[in-house]
Amino acid sequence: MRKKLYCHAVRLCTAFIFLLFSSSLFAQKAVTGTVFSSKDNAPVNGATVLVKGTNTGVTTGANGNFSINVPSGRNTLVISYIGFHDQEVDVSSNNNVTVTLQENAAALDEIVVTGYTAQKKKDITGAVSL
């Protein structure tokens, strides 16, 4: 009976130790921030915020704010928006970031909106009005 109780205690301790270590493997860090435009210092609504090297991402809200859980071992966010240069931000030592995106006017000439779709200018045949 005593040997059976001992084996049960050892299994319970092993399971507890495994649970402790596995929870630290999946640790995440919450990062919040705001994205602004360099042109007019206005908040950018709908910018994409991705954790570099993963599929984890969010978009900014109406006031440019975002909140994302960054997996352990990852420290770089990639912020992108149409008409602006992509920007990488290191979040290894900071849980709250402010990002100012630089305008990329050349990228705006590559897209033409036609009705409900978007096409590249070089793929359109016929008249195009700018």
Query: What domains can be seen in the chain, in order of their start residue?
Result: 28-116 (2.60.40.1120)
Q: What is the pTM of this model?
A: 0.64
Decide: 48 and 64 in contact? Cβ < 8 Å: no
Decide: 57 and 68 in contact? Cβ < 8 Å: yes
* Mean pLDDT (whole number) for 70-95: 91
- The amino acid occupying position 35 is V
Q: Does residue 69 or residue 2 have the better pLDDT?
A: 69
Q: What is the pLDDT of residues 22-56, one digit of tens each?
A: 544 557 889 999 999 988 999 999 999 999 999 99
Of all residues in the chain, the percent with pLDDT exceeding 90 is 43
pLDDT of 3 above 50? yes
Q: Quick one: pLDDT at residue 23?
A: 47
Residues 6+ away with beta carbon under 8 Å from 59 = 46, 47, 48, 49, 66
Decide: 39 and 103 in contact? Cβ < 8 Å: yes
The closest of 47, 20, 21, 24 to 35, measured between CA atoms, is 47
Q: What is the pLDDT of residues 55-80, one digit of tens each?
A: 999 999 999 999 999 998 899 999 99
